[in-house]
Structure 1
């Protein structure tokens, strides 16, 4: 009987856990829809701003902006974007592993690599293993463009003060509920890509000057790219948590089935034993 009570108690415990994972899956599904809408809305704006910036940079004749000048100092800043909460599968572990691969793989290229962490999980793991220059732990609780812009301006100020010479951002890009791509992008210095031949043939009139527009658009470009990375990470986090909780719910259902089978077998064995004892006692009385 003691064994039956223990099995029954475990079945109840697994059922309660399954209810929690199902609820967490539903919450993540609701949050994912909103996060996905934000990502889809941000991508075209970020892409178009990058195109305008590239065209301006290619056609500029004066000295380039300080945010576009590559320096040889050899100090890098890696912005690592993780989540504040767990229970989302390998979402955080994959980013942390990618950050450590970056540090190890490019240690010969840079004489110093420091970190700026966004998200509590990454900070808790990396702070005792690598140099964390700064941590922002309240970004995702009130994620908005002004919040991302504040962090971006802080990064820009450090770059202009020559505290570091290159800036990279590492995050999970959202592809689907089942898929998140680990993405590494260079934020600073801003390196314009090649513009299409058709676009090069088109002449634009700029007001004010190209240099003035560049000075205005370069910080805005970095703010937008960082904000998009944070939106991508949030959507990817909810997708990963939804998948993880769905898997946990299925595992709980399978475990309940196995435990129920064990319970029924143990109960049947106990009943059979009691019947045998009763029959043996009756036979002994007759004898």
Structure 2
């Protein structure tokens, strides 16, 4: 049985931890609203742009002059998995779910005889190094200095990924991130960003764009040269915003659960402390009474 001193020290330690987790929950809750607004505000533009370029991809006639970002390289042997995670932990299973989704995709592609490489955007994605050789990690983007992701940050990553694509380092790129649904729900999401995935069939908001004739001004090459790289950057920017909101939601939940668990532990330890103290007092009284009777 633990001594009274040991129990008292442990109760104090748990109370200190509870104060920290409660403070972290409040900070995450305060940051969540702004991150949630940013993620939701960016969705319509990102989704509409993805619909436009997907519509173009369904109409493109593959030739030597076709933009590779739109038509692809003509093969799909090497796949790049862009895994966007957070830089920090203490957010429950948020990062684990994204990494797990990427690993499942990698296993499915490997089973088909494809070559898989990884582009890590976020420190918590480095856990993939445990499962894959160093040659499979194409790049590890350090984002520790990014507090509030901006479009310039996403454009930097997009330019690097596009440069590697044009250099022939991979044929297809898939993006993995956590889509913000609510403070309680963050959904691991996969999206093909290179080449643009064409629309299989007209659907909802993009149905009109899929059937419409496309006219270019001033010319097709100039439009696509700006539109296609911008689409990759926008999709990465959206992933960073969604991850930001999802991270704070997951962290708020995790810290709330940790605070509750700490409270439960304090109650159990307090009961154990009181019982141990009462037992010690009872033992002393018995000894005193026994000594008095002996006299």
| Inter-partner Cα distance in structure 2 for 1:51 and 1:65 | 17
Q: Is the contact made by 1:168 and 1:187 (CA closer than 8 Å) also made in structure 2? A: yes
Bigger Cα displacement from structure 2, 274-283 vs 161-170: 274-283
| Inter-partner Cα distance in structure 2 for 1:205 and 1:246 | 54
Q: Is the contact made by 1:35 and 1:234 (CA closer than 8 Å) also made in structure 2? A: yes
| Inter-partner Cα distance in structure 2 for 1:74 and 1:173 | 28
1:89-114 per-residue CA deviation (whole Å, 9 max, x = no partner) reads 11122222222222211113353211
Which residue of structure 1 aligns with residue 121 of structure 2? 118
Instruction: Pick the aligned partner of 1:262 from 268, 272, 287.
Output: 272
| Inter-partner Cα distance in structure 2 for 1:201 and 1:105 | 33
| Structure-2 change in CA distance of 1:79 and 1:200 (3 Å) | closer
| Inter-partner Cα distance in structure 1 for 2:279 and 2:159 | 71
Count of residue pairs brought into register by the alignment: 284
| Structure-2 change in CA distance of 1:182 and 1:12 (3 Å) | same
| Inter-partner Cα distance in structure 1 for 2:87 and 2:131 | 19
| Inter-partner Cα distance in structure 1 for 2:128 and 2:23 | 31
Which residue of structure 1 aligns with residue 229 of structure 2? 219
Which residue of structure 1 aligns with residue 167 of structure 2? 161
Unaligned runs of 5+ in 1: none
| Inter-partner Cα distance in structure 2 for 1:214 and 1:250 | 53
Which residue of structure 2 aligns with residue 79 of structure 1? 82
Which residue of structure 1 aligns with residue 263 of structure 2? 253
Bigger Cα displacement from structure 2, 203-212 vs 4-13: 203-212
| Structure-2 change in CA distance of 1:253 and 1:137 (3 Å) | same
SS of structure 2 residue aligned to 1:84: coil
SS of structure 1 residue aligned to 2:111: coil
State the TM-score, normalized to the length of structure 1.
0.90
State the TM-score, normalized to the length of structure 2.
0.88
